[in-house]
């Protein structure tokens, strides 16, 4: 339980939780299979599995919940259901005869997933051989399912926020680079840290008058919805100020003032490179640092 608790505490996404369960919960019991399904908008969605043939999983996902009485029993009663042999499974749930033996499993523990007194789904811990579930086995599996439910609910909220932040970030970043004269441009947006893919980083290529362009790269400190939204505000401000044909040092000074107005918790960096300059102009701005005084020379 200690090892599983530590692994679940480090798990961020739903997939991280399922992997932690497969790695830490199955081996001590000698279990060989795992299926986790969560209730979303009144329907069950499989969020992870281990040890089952892919063909069996594809078959099961085509069924309605009402077609699988073992799952209906667990969800309706909110209590675990233990089946020690395929014969016991078939006797109690004749509807499973069509797919039971294709699973490759011979004993099952169906466990409801309940978090904050809300049923969020169920998981199945299964075994390649028939197994008698002792009272100790049952008590421990039930206790562990509570830990798993809490971790999955937390991870599901994280995944939902992460998805919203990604959608917001994709909507704020340029979809395509503008076609500008005398310049060939390419861009690739690649997170520097694995697992942290949403934040306040952005880039822009802005056409200017006189066949000039401005290259802008910026970074709002932090990761998440707030940082992505702040990035959108700053990117819009850069476009507006660039349309005024301000020199890079003045543009960054105005951005410094804007970041200062956002509050003490915001910090950002920005690099502005006007085409044709021998030396790029750069500046860091925040409320706690002096404004840049160096004037770029082009």
**Could you tell me what percent of the chain has a pLDDT over 70?**
85
Domain around 40: 2-167
Between 136 and 294, residue with greater pLDDT? 136
3-state secondary structure of 208: strand
CA 126 from centre of chain: 27
Q: Based on the structure, what is the number of domains in the chain?
A: 2
pLDDT tens readout for residues 145-199: 999 999 999 998 888 877 777 777 777 777 778 887 777 888 877 766 554 456 6
Cβ atoms of 191 and 228 within 8 Å: the answer is no
Does 10 share its domain with 150?
A: yes
Residue 9 in tokens: 């505490």
Residues in the chain: 298
Does 183 share its domain with 111?
A: no
Alpha carbon distance 259, 271 (integer Å): 15
Alpha carbon distance 29, 139 (integer Å): 13
- Whole-number pLDDT of residue 210: 78
Does 158 share its domain with 217?
A: no
The answer to whether position 295 is within a domain reads no
Q: How confident is the model at residue 114 (pLDDT cuts 50, 70, 90)?
A: very high
The answer to whether position 260 is within a domain reads yes
pLDDT tens readout for residues 197-207: 566 778 888 88
CATH number assigned to the domain comprising residue 44: 3.30.450.40
C-alpha distances (whole Å) from 71 to each of 78, 100, 249 are 10, 13, 65
Nearest in space to 17 (alpha carbons), one of 120, 100, 107: 120
**Could you tell me what percent of the chain has a pLDDT over 90?**
38
pLDDT tens readout for residues 17-69: 999 999 999 999 999 999 999 998 878 899 999 999 999 998 888 888 888 99
Does 152 share its domain with 195?
A: no
Cβ atoms of 200 and 217 within 8 Å: the answer is no
Nearest in space to 126 (alpha carbons), one of 148, 147, 103: 103
Does 196 share its domain with 149?
A: no
C-alpha distances (whole Å) from 140 to each of 89, 133, 135, 225 are 22, 11, 9, 38
């Amino acid at each position: 339980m200690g090892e599983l608790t530590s692994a679940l505490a480090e798990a961020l996404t739903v997939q991280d939780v399922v992997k932690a369960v497969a790695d830490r919960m199955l081996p001590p019991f000698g279990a060989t299979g795992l299926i986790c399904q969560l209730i979303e908008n009144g329907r069950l969605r499989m969020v992870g599995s281990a040890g089952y043939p892919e063909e069996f999983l594809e078959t099961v996902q085509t069924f309605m919940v009402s077609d699988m009485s073992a799952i209906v029993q667990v969800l309706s009663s909110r209590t675990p259901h233990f089946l020690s042999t395929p014969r016991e499974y078939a006797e109690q749930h004749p509807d499973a005869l069509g797919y039971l033996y294709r699973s490759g499993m011979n004993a099952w523990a169906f466990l409801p997933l309940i978090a904050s007194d809300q049923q969020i789904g169920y998981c199945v811990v299964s075994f390649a051989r028939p197994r008698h579930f002792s009272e100790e086995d049952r008590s421990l599996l039930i206790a562990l399912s509570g830990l798993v439910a809490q971790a999955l609910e937390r991870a599901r909220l994280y995944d939902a926020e992460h998805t919203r932040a990604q959608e917001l970030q994709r909507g704020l970043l340029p979809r395509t680079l503008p076609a500008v004269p005398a310049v060939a441009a390419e861009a690739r947006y690649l997170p520097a840290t694995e697992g942290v893919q949403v934040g306040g980083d952005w880039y822009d290529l802005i056409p200017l008058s006189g066949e000039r362009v401005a290259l802008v790269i910026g970074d709002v400190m932090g990761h998440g919805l707030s940082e992505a939204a702040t990035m959108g505000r700053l990117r819009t401000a850069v476009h507006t100020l660039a349309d005024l044909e301000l020199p890079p040092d003045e543009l960054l000074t105005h951005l410094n003032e804007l970041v200062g107005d956002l509050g003490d918790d915001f910090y950002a960096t920005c690099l502005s490179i006007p085409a044709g300059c021998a030396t790029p102009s750069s500046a860091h701005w925040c409320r706690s640092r002096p404004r840049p005084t160096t004037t770029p020379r082009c």
